[in-house]
Each structure stands twice: as C-alpha cells, then as structure tokens.
Amino acid sequence: MSSEPTASPNVGARRREGARFGSVVTRVLLATAMGLGSACNLSHRMIGDVDAVATSDGTDAIDELATPDGGPDASCDLPRMLCGGECVAVDLAERCGSCLNDCRSLPGTVPLAVACRAGRCDLTGACARMRADCNMDPTDGCESDIESPDTCTTACLPCPPPPRDGRAQCFGGMCVVECDRMFRPVGNSCLPVDCGNRVLDGTEACDDGNNVAGDGCSASCDMEPNTLREDCAGLTGAQVIRVPTGRSIYSGTTELHVDDIRACMMGGPDSMHFFVTPVGYVGPVRVELRARMTWDIVMFAGTSTCPGACIDPGHEVESWITSVTGPTMFFIGVDSHRSSDHGPYVLTLNLP
C-alpha cells in the first residue's frame, strides 16, 4: 500500500505566512502606485486615510502612533480629536476646533468671557474695556482701541474731522470736541464765546454780564488774580468780587484734601470767595453752588463771621439766600463731604 506524502505543519505555516506577506506587499505596491499608501511600512496598510498594521492572524490594527495630533482617529467622535495621544473635546474655549486654538489667549479679550461655537472663537461680550472687534475677525481678538480717534465708540466709527479753532478727541469711547480759548463747542463746530452774556460758555471761568476789568471777572471772562483764597486768613490780600445786579457766574476747583467736612462735623473749606454787593442795592442775594461732576459738595456762607455757616443738606447742589442793604460783603466757601470728593464747581449768584 502506497502512502501519500504528508506536508510538515511547519512548512504549511510558513506557506500561509508567506502568502499573507505577499498579499501585504502586493497591497502596498498597489497603494504606492496609486499614490495612496506611501507613508506605510511594509507591515502596514491603509484603512481609509489611517495607517494600519497587518497582524499575524490576518486582521488589521490601527497604529495610533502613526496618527498625528489633530488627525482622525477611529476612537474619536466629533467634537473630539486626538491631542497629545488622548481623545479630547475640541469645542471648548481652550481647544476650539483644533488642539492648539486657545480662544482665551486672544488679545484684548476677557478670557473667562470667550466662548467656542461651531469650531470658532466667539467674542460676543468678551472684549475688554475700551476694546472692540471692529474687523469682525475672531482670530486676532478684540484688536481695536475704541479710545483711538480712528475707531472711537463701540460702533468702531472714526471721530469727525477736527473743527476750526478746536480739535476732536476720543474720550472714554466718545468723540468729544474741544475748542480753543474763547470758543465754545456747538455740535462738531467751535463758535466764538460771547463774554458778558451771563452764561458760562466754553472756556469762560466767569461771566458777570459785562466786559469790565477789575471787578473780579475780567473783560475776557477770566477770574482775576486773588479772587480765590484757601481760607479766611487770606481775606486781607484777597480781591473782593463786585457782584452786579442780575445773574453772574463764577467757577473754581477744589483739590483732594484729607480734612474733609464730613457733614459739617470737622474741618474747614478748601477754597473761599469774597463778594460785595453793589452800592444802593437792597434785596435778596441768592447763591447756588453746583458740582460740575458727580461728587458731594459742601458750602459755607455768611455775611459777618468768616467762613460762615456750613450748609450740607444736598449732594451735588447746595443753596443759600440772604438779604442785604447797600454794599455788603459776604463769603462763600467750598469743600467736600468726604476726602474722596473733589473737583470743579460753579457758583451762580442772583441779585434780582
């Protein structure tokens, strides 16, 4: 009886491995010829666009080391991506649309307010103070300074051309027209100041209804020297302001002092004005003291003993009234309610 030759198991295994190896080589050569798999090693093949390893059992395993950051990965579903070897979300402000796109680092933004939407940085409400995204491009952050004359206000509009006899400036995100001396702003223009009209126009420091010098308010509506004193001790060298009948306006500024009034409980005025009523005038003197900005102002007023009585019932406006017969000197002192309160003020006198 004849027997058929039996193949050695080792030989059969080698033939199967060789067949698989040949198949892998064939696939690699075909992929290379088609321009698809040039990046694969001989033991790798392409699954879609992913480099894969041909294993000994004929199956394929994805080579995670061959997949770069930000690339596709079979284990990552959107909105996730392979970053640093881990599958992480890329719909966050710190990773928006890609591994390295950190919206929080954009210039001119408030990091905690920046968001990520649809793979792009969203800067809505995220611009820092006085910054704006004028070009509507989130990739460069809030690039514009809205205190610049070229992109003033949150609407990113330029300020108007500078007027004659003045200039246009951006202040606090608003276009402001500033006029030269003896001119006043009207819209975007500068018009001459009408000194002597009993209205405090433009750069006037006072307006007593005349163009006469030597009465405390000069012919060009400036406060004349020595009309403003620091305390009652300066009364001797002070120029007394001659108040005309009708309405007159004077201005001044208090400085930041530690010895504030604190509701008339302590301290004294920061500045003093001395006035005298006209010869032959008999009637009331009405005084209004108004802060030009938001601060708590305090007035001292009197006709006999300087600095007079402390008046502090209001906040930004204080008033006082007295009656006089003939030429009468009276005092008006100005101070703040708290040490943090100080600034410009306007005194309006009315002798009807």
Which domains can be identified in the chain, with CATH numbers? 14-30+37-66 (no CATH), 80-145 (no CATH), 146-192 (no CATH), 206-351 (2.60.120.380)
Are the beta carbons of 96 and 119 closer than 8 angstroms?
yes
Report which listed range, 35-44, 153-162, 231-240, is most confident: 153-162
Q: 171 to each of 26, 153, 163, 189, how far by Cα in Å?
A: 74, 9, 16, 17
Per-residue pLDDT band at 341 (split at 50, 70, 90): confident
Alpha carbons within 13 A on the beta-carbon side of 110: 11
**Where on the phi/psi map is residue 123: left (φ > 0), alpha (ψ -120 to 50), or beta?**
alpha
User: Quick one: average pLDDT of 130-154?
Assistant: 87
Q: Is the pLDDT of residue 42 over 70?
A: no
Which residues are CB-neighbours of 71 under 8 A, at least 6 positions away?
Answer: 81, 82
Residue 22 to residue 17: CA distance in whole angstroms = 8
Q: Is the pLDDT of residue 114 over 50?
A: yes
Using the CB atoms, write b or e for 26-39: b if 16+ within 10 Å. Answer: ebbeebeeeeebee
Share of the chain above pLDDT 70, in %: 72
What is the identity of the amino acid at 339? S
Residue 274 to residue 333: CA distance in whole angstroms = 9
Per-residue pLDDT band at 65 (split at 50, 70, 90): very low
User: Quick one: average pLDDT of 42-66?
Assistant: 43
Per-residue pLDDT band at 272 (split at 50, 70, 90): confident
Look at residues 202, 205, 229, 240 and name the one whose alpha carbon lies nearest to residue 219: 205
pLDDT at 267: 64
What is the identity of the amino acid at 166? G
Query: Which of 28-37, 67-76, 282-291, 303-312 has the least mean pLDDT?
Result: 28-37
Residues 154-170 have pLDDT tens digits of 778 888 888 888 888 88
pLDDT at 34: 39
* Beta-bridge partner residues of 121: 116
Look at residues 55, 54, 49, 52 and name the one whose alpha carbon lies nearest to residue 35: 49
Alpha carbons within 13 A on the beta-carbon side of 308: 24
More confident residue, 346 or 36: 346
DSSP classification of residue 329: E
More confident residue, 238 or 7: 238
Q: Is the pLDDT of residue 60 over 90?
A: no
pTM of the model: 0.48
Per-residue pLDDT band at 142 (split at 50, 70, 90): very high
The secondary structure of 181-209, three-state, reads CCEEEECCEEEECCCCCCCCCCCCCEECC
Token couple for 35: 């321009």
